[in-house]
Amino acid sequence: GAVVSQHPSWVICKSGTSVKIECRSLDFQATTMFWYRQFPKQSLMLMATSNEGSKATYEQGVEKDKFLINHASLTLSTLTVTSAHPEDSSFYICSARYFGGSRGYTFGSGTRLTVV
Amino acid sequence: DAKTTQPPSMDCAEGRAANLPCNHSTISGNEYVYWYRQIHSQGPQYIIHGLKNNETNEMASLIITEDRKSSTLILPHATLRDTAVYYCIALLTGNQFYFGTGTSLTVIP
C-alpha cells in the first residue's frame, strides 16, 4: 500500500513551452502532497506543499507563477512548469503523507525534465 | 523541525553491517526520526522511523540513544544494492519533509 505514481518519468521539451507532471496516490487519499526538485549531485529541495482544494504553499524563492500546482482531487496533484528554460532542467519528485500505515511519507519515482 | 547532521560518505564491505550515524541534538520530544534512502535517479525510499524505542523491520534496525540526541541506522548485511544516499530526518509527523545532505553509502564487493 501507499503507492505514489508519478508521470511522466522523463520528458524533453523545447525552451518556452510548458510541461505538466502528474502525481497520483494509487491506493490512498492524499490531502497533502509535496513537490521537490533535485539538481545533479544535490539533495532534494522542497518547492511547495500542495493541499487538496486550496492553494499551494510555496517555499521561499520558488516562483509560484512559474511552477503551477493544482491539487483538485484527493488522489491527484499536478505540477506545471510554465515557459520552461534550460535552467529548469532537473529531477522533480512528488511525495504524499500516508496516514494509514507506518511509513508516514511516500515518494514518487521522479520525473527527469530536460529543457532544450 | 530539528536539524540533523550526517557524515557525507561511508564505505562498507559487502556482507558486513553498515552503521550510519545521525546527530539530532536539538530534537524535541514529539519529533520522530525518519530514515530514507535514494538510489541514483529514483525517488526516496522509506526505510524506518522511530520516536524513542529501537525499531527493527525487514530492511534495517534503528537505534536511538536514550537522550534521543543521536541515532544509528543499521543495515545488518549490506549488499551492492544498498549503495545509495541515506537521509536522516527529524520532524513532527505531518510537517514538511526537508532533506539534508545525507550520507552517501558505497558498498564495496
3-state SS assignment for residue A87: helix
| Partner residue opposite B94 with nearest CB, options A45, A97, A103 | A97
pLDDT at B95: 80
**Cβ neighbours of A4 in B, within 8 Å:** 43
| Partner residue opposite B96 with nearest CB, options A43, A49, A104 | A49
> What is the dihedral sign for C-alpha B76, B104, A108, A110?
negative
Nearest-CA distance from A16 to chain B in Å?
Answer: 25
Residues A47-76, mean pLDDT to the nearest whole number = 93
Sites in chain B below the pLDDT cut of 50? none
Q: Report yes or no: A97 at the B interface, CB cutoff 8 Å.
A: yes
Band of the pLDDT at A103, cuts 50, 70, 90?
Answer: low
Residues A75-92, mean pLDDT to the nearest whole number = 96
Q: Which residues of A12-22 are buried (b: 16+ CB within 10 A; e: fewer)?
A: ebeeeeebebb
**Amino acid letter, A75:** T
Band of the pLDDT at A72, cuts 50, 70, 90?
Answer: confident
d(CA B19, CA B40): 20
Residues A29-47, mean pLDDT to the nearest whole number = 93
What are the pLDDT digits (tens) for B64-94?
A: 999 999 999 999 999 999 999 999 999 877 7
Q: Report yes or no: B94 at the A interface, CB cutoff 8 Å.
A: yes
Asked if the model's pLDDT at residue A74 lies above 80, the reply is yes
C-alpha A23: how far from chain center: 6
Query: With left for phi above 0 and alpha for psi between -120 and 50, is residue B94 left, alpha or beta?
Result: left
pLDDT at B76: 97
Band of the pLDDT at A31, cuts 50, 70, 90?
Answer: confident
Query: With left for phi above 0 and alpha for psi between -120 and 50, is residue A83 left, alpha or beta?
Result: left
**Cβ neighbours of B93 in A, within 8 Å:** 104
pLDDT at B5: 94
> How many Cβ contacts (< 8 angstroms) between chains A and B?
50
CB-based contact A108:A23 (threshold 8 Å)? yes
Residue A40, C-alpha cell as written in the block: 545533479
Are B96 and A44 an interchain contact pair (Cβ–Cβ within 8 Å)? no
Task: State phi, psi for A86 to the nearest 5 degrees.
Answer: -55, -30
pLDDT at A100: 63
Are B41 and A112 an interchain contact pair (Cβ–Cβ within 8 Å)? yes
Q: Give the nearest chain A residue to B39 (CA atoms).
A: A109
